[in-house]
Structure formats: C-alpha cells, structure tokens
C-alpha cells in the first residue's frame, strides 16, 4: 500500500535590515532609531510582527558595531533575535541575514523582508500579504497603484529640472514592504545578483530570475520615512483612530 506524506507546513518569518545610516534624514544617528509616536521606528515595525499570530519569529539585522539596538530591542524580548551581520548595502544586509538563518529555517519557509523605517505596518497588512500571495512560488509584496501623473525630468537652465515628458501611469505601482518569498528562492536571487547597488528591493532580484511576484495592495499608512517631513505624516497615521480592519 502506498502512503502519501502530508505537505510540509510552511512557517513565516520576518527579516528587517536595519544597518543603514539614514543620510537623507539629516539626523544625528540611524533613522530607524528616530522616535515616531513615542517610540523608535524600528520598534513599531518589530511590534507589528510580534503582534501577528502568523509570524513564527522576527530577525533584525544591524551593523556589528551598533551600540543602540540593545536599548530598543532588549535581549529578552520574546520572538525577536538580533543578527549583528549588517553589510554595506541593504542587499548585503538581507543576504548576510539569510545566511545566518541557515539551519534555523527551511527552504520552503516564507521570509518577509521589511524596511525598518516603515513604522505604519499592522498585523492586518501582514495577514493580507500572506493571504494574497497564497501558494504562488514567485512570492509577492505590498504595493500601491500610482495615482499621480508621472513626469520624466530633464536638466534645464541653471541646473533646474524641467518636465520633459508625461509617463503613462497605467500599470505602475509603488513598492512597499514586507516583500515575501521562500527562503530558498530569496537566497538564490540575492546570491546571484550581479550588482548589490542595483537591487533597491528584494522583488527586483526575484524578477531577475524570471519570476513575477504578486502585487498585493497595501495602505498609505505603511509609508517609508525618508525625509524629516515624513515623520509627521507617519505620526498622523499612528495616532489615527481608524479601525484596523478598514485600513486594508
């Protein structure tokens, strides 16, 4: 008699690269540690994953000489592990983190890579990503359809940019995170990428292998804090009384 083995149970893990310096924020330290709504941006993001019953564990990748992380994520914080293997680029940090996880996760397990400077993530958005990607082997990411008119610039007089053309926005999406792929696929994609500086998000490395990740509509509250003015916008979302179920 032939017996059939049950399918392997997949687990979901979060991986947050947090080794950047946040140069565009004009701050005195890495932007992921700037306070938004009463606590560091990184802690907001980590707490969203900790609050999701779907996430098995959260890993945070920081620089080896990071002297702040222990006060933001204490060693006894349940469900979180800090990996001190950050690299020179975002891709390097993610790849180093993945290599550190060898043996702790299986090849079919799903890795959700999330920007440490996106404090507006919620458990509901995490669940929406997981449900939306389903069993698609190409994985997927949260993103927003572009609604503004898009312009292509050209250098003008006195170095001021001018509008050279209008770019059709049909089919354009603005990528967010988390971006979720199987551990094996993401490790292969990042490990074979020819130029770390050209990989601005994980989906671009997956696309280079010929895969087409799913686009799952996210929410504006999940913005990336890049410039000083973004902090106030993030705080407005965090302070809002919207029911989380309506956010997605």
pTM of the predicted protein model: 0.90
Determine the pLDDT at residue 7.
Answer: 55
DSSP states along 88-142: SSHHHHHHHHHHHTBTTB-TTSEEEE--TT-TT--HHHHHHHHHHHTT-TT-EEE
Render pLDDT for 7-46 as a digit per residue (tens, 0 to 9).
Answer: 569 999 999 999 976 544 445 668 899 999 999 999 999 9
State the architecture of 12-144+172-246 in CATH terms.
Alpha-Beta Complex (3.90)
Summarize pLDDT for 164-210 with one digit per residue, the tens.
Answer: 999 999 999 999 999 999 999 999 999 999 887 788 899 999 999 99
The domain ranges of the chain are 12-144+172-246
Residue 97 sits at the vertex; the CA angle it makes with 94 and 98, to the nearest 5 degrees, is 85
Q: What is the pLDDT of residue 101?
A: 98
């Amino acid at each position: 008699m032939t017996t059939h083995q049950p399918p392997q149970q997949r687990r979901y893990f979060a991986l947050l690269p947090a080794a950047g310096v946040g140069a565009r924020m004009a701050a005195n330290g890495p932007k992921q540690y700037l306070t938004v709504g009463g606590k560091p941006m990184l802690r907001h993001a980590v707490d969203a994953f900790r609050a999701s019953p779907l996430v098995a564990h959260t890993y945070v990748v920081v620089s080896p000489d990071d002297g702040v992380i222990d006060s933001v994520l204490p060693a006894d914080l349940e469900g979180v592990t800090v990996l001190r293997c950050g690299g020179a680029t975002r891709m390097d940090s993610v790849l180093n983190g993945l290599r550190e996880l060898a043996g702790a996760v299986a090849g079919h397990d799903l890795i959700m890579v999330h920007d440490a400077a996106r404090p507006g993530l919620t458990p509901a958005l995490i669940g929406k990503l997981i449900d939306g990607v389903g069993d698609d082997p190409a994985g997927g990411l949260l993103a927003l359809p572009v609604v503004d008119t898009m312009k292509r610039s050209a250098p003008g007089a006195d170095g001021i940019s001018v509008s050279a053309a209008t770019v059709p926005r049909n089919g354009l999406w603005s990528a967010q995170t988390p971006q979720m792929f199987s551990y094996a696929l993401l490790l292969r994609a990042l490990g074979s990428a020819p130029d770390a500086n050209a990989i601005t998000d994980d989906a671009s490395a997956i696309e280079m292998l010929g895969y087409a990740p799913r686009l799952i509509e996210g929410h504006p509250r999940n913005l990336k804090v890049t410039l000083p003015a973004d902090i106030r916008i993030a705080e407005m979302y965090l302070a809002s009384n919207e029911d989380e179920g309506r956010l997605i």
